[in-house]
Structure 1
Amino acid sequence: MRSSAIHSYLRGPGGRLMGRPGVRSYTTRQYSESDLEFCLATEKDFRQVQSLYNDETDYIPSVYHSWLRERNRVIILAKRQDQLIGLCSSHIVDDGQSALMEGMKVAASERGKGAARLIYRHVAELVRARYPEVKKQSFITDPKLNRGGLCVLGKQIGLCSSHIVDDGQSALMEGMKVAASERGKGAARLIYRHVAELVRARYPEVKKQSFITDPKLNRGLCVLGKQFLISLQVPSINVPTLISEVISNMKKRRDEYYEPIPLQPDDVRSIFLNRTVIDTLLPGGRIIQNGAVFKPLESNLDILLKRDIVWRADRKDNTRAVSLGAAPFRDPMGNRVFMIDMFGEDLSAVKNVFLAQLQSLPPLQDNVICLLFVNPSLSPQISEFCINEMGLEKGKQDWDDEYIIEIDILQNVI
């Protein structure tokens, strides 16, 4: 992204389009910056953004409006011929040290054309310009990140978000998504680059990107930590009865069972700022919530405590397992998706905290898909417990295992 384009972006009010006119249509070659226009997302764009997710399970539509209100976050839309084809966001976290890149999405029809790369680069440059103190980018993604993830106005094909976290030092890259029909065309690469360039331009103090990825996206990046996914179908109507039966059977077998505790804000700070918890429970010393990664800092906990999260732990002192449950959201198929990020390696403690998270579910008439992320060492045992002892069924693997990556803000990953 050229400096003149960055300055025009920063001057533009109300998310006004600040790309180049006269965009031409290309279907076989890779997109260049002159093919796309970028703008800041607004409330008015929601309907088009939502159209990116009509055929896939994703949480972005449920958080879009709250993202627009978050401090130190930018959401960039990518357009081609006035049609929305991609999105990416960056959130400054980790006391301003990292840029959390989130929500990268490219419309299915536009994938494989390099759009994600351009979008990501745009966001990253904006972060570097606006938050020069940011040192790292962080994000959670999957192997599709190197093939799709762009949003172009009109027909949306992709999305990506970056959240400035870590006290303005990092850009958390989140939500990279490209419509299924557009993958493999390079859109994600363009979106990601566009978002990264935008972050670099708007937040020049940001030095790092952070994100969560899939092991197949292995390009010599350093993996700080990882969590494995267990996807489950939960019979929502009978959840209370189901949990009671499971607990009763555990007691009959003399398995260790106790009532986990809900955490208040002071409890959250006490536990997640505890050095022992950070070193022994958190993957790579990071907090993962709903596909985003945060350093355990006061400023990041302030961000998380404002979200609709169910916090559960086995105990306040000598904590062995702690979890974050996101508010269930409805996917395009009408299912309710309940995401639980579980931290800890003690099997009994993790089982008990998982049951407590299920007990927190409100009464729902919809089918419930539970996405449970656990320490890799516990994945086989917890999966067996859920399927064989609880009688739950495996859910679709529309999501991926989580690998935490942190790189310099100047580094491009796609």
Structure 2
Amino acid sequence: MATRCLGEREGLTFWLARPDDYDDVMSISDDIYLGNDYLPHRYHIWLEEPGRVVVLARRDAKMMALESFLVVDEGSTVVVEGLRVCPTQRGTGLAGVIQRFVDAYVCQLHPSVKVKRLTRNDDPGPSKLAKFSVLARRAVLSFAGEAESFESFVSHLRSKLTASGPSVPTVVPLGTEQLRKVLLDPGLPSRTRLPGGAIIQDWQPLRPMEGNLAILGRKDLDWFADKQEAPAFLAVSTRPYPVPFEGGALRSSVDLFGADPELAKVALVSMLERARCQGWLTEKVLVHMYLEEALVEELRSFCDGHAGVREWTSSWLQLLVEGPVEESN
């Protein structure tokens, strides 16, 4: 185990994660994201992902905390993800300890990295974000229901679009080469109003540049746009994946980029239809939709009116921030 030990700080020892740490990691993950935790599904994937490091903190051999980082932007930035602390230690400052250690380790391992980027589901205010720049603020709409209800929910939404008349806009799926051209188009961020100039895909913010295409390509994603060249609206969704919500559910995340509410509705329905074809073979389904705050009420109204699918919680927040990676503190 000594070869995995990265160092000590403030009574903690820090280790590179390995597959047999899975149970210990899950033991500190109770109630993370209110049952929406992606890490049970992605932990082993993360350990094999190029450019990613998963760091564990222990005290007297007991698991205390986890944080992961992924090198992006062709080596100049890290995206920080997965931070969690043992339930009995939350609010004690332990999160800050592992964050400072990981910052120093990033500088040691990747001297070219100067910036860290992350998303949050809250806004703690200027005092706690003093070292960060807030790049963007988005809204999140979430819906939950039984898998059987989601089948009719998607049909319900499609019928709403059809009832709107022949002027309903369309979206088209993007293949690999089409997607590459779209993402590397320098006009994309302004046309689609990318938050902070980044594509935030299921909470992971990546700038649309050559070095990040491989990261996006490793994921099983569906992409839609209003047109295949110079689109003004872009949407991306995950394939349904398992989360521990209410004993087990499938989660789909839909990120919408653009200001047109009609295109947002069409893209949402198209992505839900694709997810339905991929199979909701579980009792419960969760869909999280990330979009501009100005679109929330219209999309909420569009999704309303189906007895079997409910809004899971009132609209919440996705905050994109960026700050310096600090060598020591």
How many Å apart are 1:228 and its aligned residue?
Answer: 0.6
**What amino acid is the match of 1:43?**
P
Aligned partner of 1:370 among 275, 283, 287:
287
The answer to which of 93-102 and 316-325 deviates more is: 316-325
**What amino acid is the match of 2:270?**
A
- Partner residue in 2 for 1:139: 118
In 2, are the aligned partners of 1:239 and 1:358 still within 8 Å (CA)?
A: no
Aligned partner of 1:232 among 139, 143, 162:
143
Matched, 1:315 2:216: no
Aligned partner of 2:80 among 101, 104, 122:
101
In 2, are the aligned partners of 1:234 and 1:370 still within 8 Å (CA)?
A: no
**What amino acid is the match of 2:219?**
R
Q: Residue by residue, what CA displacement relative to the aligned partner does 1:91-142 show, whole Å, maximum 9, x if unpaired?
A: 1101111011111000111112221111011111011111111121101124
What is the 5 A alignment of 1:85-234? 85-142=64-121, 214-218=122-126, 219-220=129-130, 221-234=132-145
Gaps of 5+ in 1: 1-8, 21-32, 143-213
Matched, 1:34 2:13: no
Matched, 1:382 2:289: no
**What amino acid is the match of 2:255?**
D
Distance 1:314 1:75, change over 3 A: same
Q: Residue by residue, what CA displacement relative to the aligned partner does 1:273-296 show, whole Å, maximum 9, x if unpaired?
A: 222221232111111012111111
Instruction: Give TM-score scaled by structure 1 length.
Output: 0.71
- Partner residue in 2 for 1:253: 164
In 2, are the aligned partners of 1:235 and 1:368 still within 8 Å (CA)?
A: yes
The answer to which of 84-93 and 257-266 deviates more is: 257-266
Q: Distance in 1 between matches of 2:49 and 2:208?
A: 19
Distance 1:278 1:390, change over 3 A: farther
- Partner residue in 1 for 2:323: 407
**What amino acid is the match of 1:87?**
L
Aligned partner of 1:273 among 159, 184, 189:
184
Instruction: Give TM-score scaled by structure 2 length.
Output: 0.88
Select the structure with the greater relative contact order (CA < 8 A; seq sep ≥ 6).
Answer: 2
- State percent identity of aligned pairs: 26
Aligned partner of 2:55 among 76, 83, 104:
76
**What amino acid is the match of 1:114?**
G
How many Å apart are 1:53 and its aligned residue?
Answer: 2.7
- Partner residue in 2 for 1:290: 202
How many Å apart are 1:403 and its aligned residue?
Answer: 1.6
The answer to which of 120-129 and 256-265 deviates more is: 256-265
Q: Give secondary structure in 1 for the equivalent of 2:74.
A: strand
**What amino acid is the match of 1:46?**
Y
In 1, are the aligned partners of 2:150 and 2:285 still within 8 Å (CA)?
A: no
- Partner residue in 2 for 1:159: none
Q: Residue by residue, what CA displacement relative to the aligned partner does 1:384-413 show, whole Å, maximum 9, x if unpaired?
A: 11124897411036x94112111121289x
Q: Distance in 2 between matches of 1:234 and 1:271?
A: 34
Aligned-residue Cα RMSD (Å) equals: 2.4
Q: Distance in 2 between matches of 1:268 and 1:226?
A: 25
The answer to which of 132-141 and 239-248 deviates more is: 239-248
- Partner residue in 1 for 2:23: 47
Q: Give secondary structure in 2 for the equivalent of 1:75.
A: strand
